[in-house]
Structure 1
């Protein structure tokens, strides 16, 4: 309900105001996404679909279903990446994993100005757009555009430092649902190869 109220107020507001209201009102969410990754070389874009859930700060579950299954889980301290085909788990500190990345917009503490310079870049395709540029140059991406409609997040477009463009469409986003805390816990599957910079802190593999 808070998001809908914020969305109503944002309908006549610029995109930066809409984004700030969305972040302030949406402490958790779940939904579905479509992702398209286009390489600078002009190769055929890679398409994938999946579903997600998050609870600020730092707790999320991001699951690719097609064409290749992969699961990313943030438990507030660590980020786990499980490649099911390889049965390999990578674990990193959540702060290192998010940092000034596009994921911080969704899963971070909500302090946008700490990591990004935000600017309104107008409307196109039925969406109002924000450009978010990282304040620190060591990140892996060059720029990020965020598309909103009436205060609701609809699309994210990222260009990385290698000329690759990733478009993320939120086909369904349900704000502030009741979420089971177990969705943000991860235990490596039996026999999985666990690697990363936080392996010593990983609970015993079952």
Structure 2
């Protein structure tokens, strides 16, 4: 059970604490690429709230599903479907991961996780992060970034639909090449969300 929780958690909590520093070269962007990236940035900065469902695929192939709520800046809730005992909540500058079956709670700064980029008050794809890859294929935009100040934390690849530009999910890759993918479905944007959704779990 602990290994299961760690695998699920690591894909969302990616940090540079135990990673070797990988080399991340800034990609050469065409004017068309830059135009799409500007649209992606504007789309993310236009998001206030989202709610829907997610499917997460861990590095070992394990699949989990659940509901997700997002309120920018700084708040998110991942509620895993039963029988999973897992819950993740971001608020107050931190991310708290709760395994109720193990009565175990893990906490870390939001800025040390990929969620910190997605939940930033203002996402800048030319200052806060370095774009290492951009692809536009079959109506899907993929923007891979590393934190400019700490590229060794790993890579976040954000996935968007192109028409309209809207967040569809992301892939986290650590310095060892382990990938965790999160895909979003049934998304509803701009609806009021209860503050109770983002109360940080206690215990453990």
The alignment's TM-score, normalised by the length of structure 1, stands at 0.71
CA contact 1:81–1:90 (8 Å) conserved in 2: yes
State the secondary structure of the residue aligned to 2:81: strand
Larger radius of gyration: 1
CA RMSD of aligned residues (A): 2.5
Name which of 78, 87, 112 aligns with 1:62.
78
**Aligned-pair CA distance for 1:86:** 0.4
Query: Could you say if the C-alpha distance between residues 117 and 79 of structure 1 is closer, same or farther in structure 2, counting changes exceeding 3 Å?
Result: same
Please give the alpha-carbon distance, in whole angstroms, between the structure 2 residues aligned to 1:46 and 1:67.
14
**Which structure dedicates a bigger proportion of its chain to strand?**
1
Please give the alpha-carbon distance, in whole angstroms, between the structure 2 residues aligned to 1:115 and 1:66.
37
Query: Could you say if the C-alpha distance between residues 187 and 121 of structure 1 is closer, same or farther in structure 2, counting changes exceeding 3 Å?
Result: closer
Gaps of 5+ in 2: 1-32
State the secondary structure of the residue aligned to 1:20: helix
Q: Where in structure 2 are the equivalents of 1:123-134 lying within 5 Å? A: 123-134=136-147
Other-structure match for 1:172: 186
**Aligned-pair CA distance for 1:147:** 1.8
Query: Could you say if the C-alpha distance between residues 53 and 38 of structure 1 is closer, same or farther in structure 2, counting changes exceeding 3 Å?
Result: same
Query: Could you say if the C-alpha distance between residues 29 and 145 of structure 1 is closer, same or farther in structure 2, counting changes exceeding 3 Å?
Result: same
Instruction: Please state if 1:136 is matched with 2:155.
Output: no
The count of residues paired between Structure 1 and Structure 2 equals 169
Please give the alpha-carbon distance, in whole angstroms, between the structure 2 residues aligned to 1:15 and 1:67.
40
Instruction: Please state if 1:104 is matched with 2:147.
Output: no
